[in-house]
Every structure is written in C-alpha cells, then in structure tokens.
Amino acid sequence: MADFEYQDPEPELSENQKKEIAKWFLLNSPAGEIQYVAKDLRSVLMDEKVYNMAVSEAFPLYNKSYMICLEMPDRSGDVLVTSFGELDENEYLDPRTAQVATVDHVKQVCTEVRHAIDEELPSAYIEEFRCALDAEIIKYVGEAYPKGVCSVYCINGKDVEEPGSDFELAVVISASKHSPQNFCNGSWRSVWIIEFKDDQQVVEVRGTMQVGAHYFEEGNVQLDANHECRDSTILQSPEDCAISITNIILHHETEYMTSLEASYSNLPDTTFKELRRKLPVTRTLFPWHNSLQISLTRDITKELGIGK
C-alpha cells in the first residue's frame, strides 16, 4: 500500500483577518455599490460581529473617498462627506449654510443637523474669499456637471483677520450617476487646494481629478483614472481671485476630459484588440471595421451628465 502523507488542515482565519479581508472588499467597491457588496459579505461571513467591525471601519473611509453627498434631515441643504469638512468621526461641516450634520456612515444618511459654532467657521476676512469662490464654483459646476455638487472649505489659516498672512482653501467637486438597473455606475471627483501666499502676492493651485466607471452587464469592466496638475494666478480681490481660480479649474478639467476622450477613441485599435481572442469560441470574428460604435467615452459622458 502506498504511503499516505497526512496534511494538516489550513488554520481557521482569526476574526481580525476576516475583518481585514471584508474591509478590503468594501473599500474596493465601485462608486455607489458598497451597499450591495456589504449585503453579499454579510451572507458569506455569517458572523455579525466580524461584519459589524468591518462595515464600521470601511464605510467612513469609503464615504469620504467618494465624497458622497447627503441631504440634511430638515431639507435645509446638502452636506458633502469629505475629510476637509470632518469635525469628528460623525460630524461634517457644510460651509455654505454654516451647519454641521451628523452622519450615519453605514446607512449613508444624515440623522441630525445643528448650527456651527464660531470656532468651527473661518474669520470674516477669509469668509469673503471663500464665499466669492463658492459662488463661482457653483455656477461652473451647474453648467459642467448637471448632477454635480461642490463645496469650498478653509483648511488652513481660518483665524486670519486681515491681509498679511497666508491661508488655504479647498474646492471639492463630486458628480456621480448610479444606474444599477442599467448595469453601470460612474463618478467624477476633483479636489483643488488653493494656497493664498500674501508675501508673494500669488495664489497657487494644485488639483487632483479622478474618474471611475463600472459596467457589469454580462461582464465586469472598470475604469479608474486620475490626474494631477498645478497652476497659479496673482492675488487680487476676493471676487477677481474667485473668477481666476474658477477659470483655472475649468481649463484643467476640460483639458483632462478631452485627453480621456482622445485616449478612449483609440481603444478599439489598441487595448480592445489585444484583449479580444483572434477567433473567439463563437467562431465569429469581431467587427473591427465598425469598432467605433463601442464608445466608452460616450457612455461615461452620458452617465456623468458631462458636457451637456
């Protein structure tokens, strides 16, 4: 009889290991799909303790990463869940209405709202710049992103009372289109850090743009692209600064979207062609002569409502 070599079974994963694996899946959920992933994970884990630990850690990070927008319970406005407006674990400032919303991260809803106290708001001098920029960004987002939301935060130097000191603002733009019934979801996120340097009389602008899309009808195709850029303008009055900064943002975001369109227009002749079998199992050749009918750019633009 042949010798039988006994192998010990693989050790059971610890609760912490299970939690970290579940957390990874939650954090890597496409835009607008974390609730679906959480539901499936709950069924797979069959352990409420591990599930609750995973969602309590993952949802706040996910919500801030995708900068989700939630309606306040009294319908007085919306609040963006971002690290720039985070006052503590569950409270987020809406600078536009000077209110603080309490957020239930797992349910992704606002449960309470209160007026912000003076210490949570910038000085009157900084507020001039913030309000002027906010007004211009609202107009820009309304034209460029019909489903977009935005906010402007003071992230450094909020106690500055008069000219002579540096301060920083952050512009956040978030647009999403969730259409699971059509097997697709998409998101646009951009963050612009605005540094007002009084001694140099210059305003420096640093931007980060992210585009995500997920198509899952009879397949699973995801897009995740990002881009960073820098620019500057001269320090002027609040209103003139706001116009100049908004024009910079408009220029770079339009340029980036144009570059994405150019890249995706070449996909049929490059990436798609390499992914496709030369002769698929159906024995039907792919119609490369008419491949432009497959347009990711068109679908992404349609889903995000960009350029209308």
**Does the residue 4 lie in any domain?**
no
The CATH number of residue 82's host domain is: 3.30.1140.60
Give the residue from 120, 147, 165 where a domain finishes.
120
**Does the residue 273 lie in any domain?**
no
Do 111 and 129 belong together in one domain?
no
**Does the residue 3 lie in any domain?**
no
Report the alpha-carbon angle 152-129-211, nearest 5: 30
Give the residue from 63, 85, 100 where a domain finishes.
63
d(CA 189, CA 145): 11
**Does the residue 101 lie in any domain?**
yes
Confidence at residue 276, expressed as pLDDT on a 0 to 100 scale = 55
> What is each CA distance from 208 to 25, 76, 84, 104, in whole angstroms?
24, 30, 14, 27
Report the alpha-carbon angle 65-258-303, nearest 5: 55
Do 256 and 171 belong together in one domain?
yes
Do 200 and 231 belong together in one domain?
yes
Do 20 and 85 belong together in one domain?
no
Give the residue from 79, 101, 120 where a domain finishes.
120
Contact 90, 73 (CB under 8 A): no
**Does the residue 234 lie in any domain?**
yes
Which segments of the chain have a pLDDT < 70?
A: 1-10, 267-308
In the block, tokens 């820098």 appear at 230
Confidence at residue 80, expressed as pLDDT on a 0 to 100 scale = 96
Confidence at residue 289, expressed as pLDDT on a 0 to 100 scale = 57
Torsion of CA 277, 280, 284, 287, to 10 degrees: -20
**Does the residue 23 lie in any domain?**
yes
Do 213 and 150 belong together in one domain?
yes
**Does the residue 280 lie in any domain?**
no
How many domains are contained in the chain?
3
Confidence at residue 1, expressed as pLDDT on a 0 to 100 scale = 47
**Does the residue 197 lie in any domain?**
yes
Do 296 and 158 belong together in one domain?
yes
Q: Where are the alpha helices (DSSP H) in the chain?
A: 15-27, 34-45, 48-65, 124-144, 238-265, 271-275, 296-304
Residues 6+ apart with CB under 8 A from 293: none
Residues 6+ apart with CB under 8 A from 200: 235
Confidence at residue 222, expressed as pLDDT on a 0 to 100 scale = 85
Do 53 and 75 belong together in one domain?
no
Do 27 and 105 belong together in one domain?
no
Do 235 and 131 belong together in one domain?
yes
User: Residue 177 pairs with which residues in a beta bridge?
Assistant: 186
User: Which residue range(s) make up the domain with 32?
Assistant: 13-63
Confidence at residue 123, expressed as pLDDT on a 0 to 100 scale = 96
